[in-house]
Structure 1
Amino acid sequence: MHITFYSKNNCSLCEKGLHVIEKLKEEYFLTVNVVDIYEDDELLEKYMLRIPVVLVEGIEADEGILSYDKISQIIKNTN
């Protein structure tokens, strides 16, 4: 299962969100692609005020203060 994690440098909320993703990796077989939104103008415009944003298989799963339970449920539903 593929997870895309949109974030930026020096973002404490992103760091906390990455811990949630690491916990999910312990339970599920996940590949995680961390993307810095400042490397792409379109991503910056789209996610600037929403990061971190998590996509599960291309589906927006959660944003901001990430919920382990919410993302886990989406992972289960996409299997």
Structure 2
Amino acid sequence: MNVTLYVGNECPLCDEALLNLRLAAEDILLDIEVIDIGRDDRLHEKYMLMVPVLEKDGEVLLYGNIGYGDVMEALL
């Protein structure tokens, strides 16, 4: 399963979300793409107040405080 995590610079919630995604990847086959919104003006404009943002197939599944349970519930 391919998912995209949009992150911001110096974002503790983003670090936690990535950690929780990696933990989930131990139970679910995940291909995680991490994109820094600071490198793309369009993405920065779209997600600057929401990061971290977890997307699958172009659909936002989760944003903000993303815990392990949230990830598992959203992806199963």
Q: Distance in 1 between matches of 2:68 and 2:36?
A: 21
Q: Distance in 1 between matches of 2:16 and 2:5?
A: 12
Identity %: 34
- Assess if the C-alpha contact under 8 Å between 1:61 and 1:70 holds in 2: no
**Stretches of 4+ moved more than 4 A in 1?**
none
Q: How many residues align?
A: 76
- Assess if the C-alpha contact under 8 Å between 1:56 and 1:74 holds in 2: no
- Assess if the C-alpha contact under 8 Å between 2:20 and 2:71 holds in 1: no
> Gapped runs of 5+ residues in structure 1?
none
Within the alignment, does 1:28 sit opposite 2:39 as a pair?
no
Q: Distance in 2 between matches of 1:26 and 1:15?
A: 17
TM-score under structure 1 length normalisation: 0.87
**Structure showing the higher helix proportion among its residues:** 1
Q: How does 1:24-63 map to 2 (within 5 A)?
A: 24-63=24-63
Match of 2:68 in 1: 68
Root mean square deviation, CA, Å: 1.2
Match of 2:14 in 1: 14
In structure 2, the CA distance between the partners of 1:66 and 1:4, relative to structure 1 (3 Å rule), is same
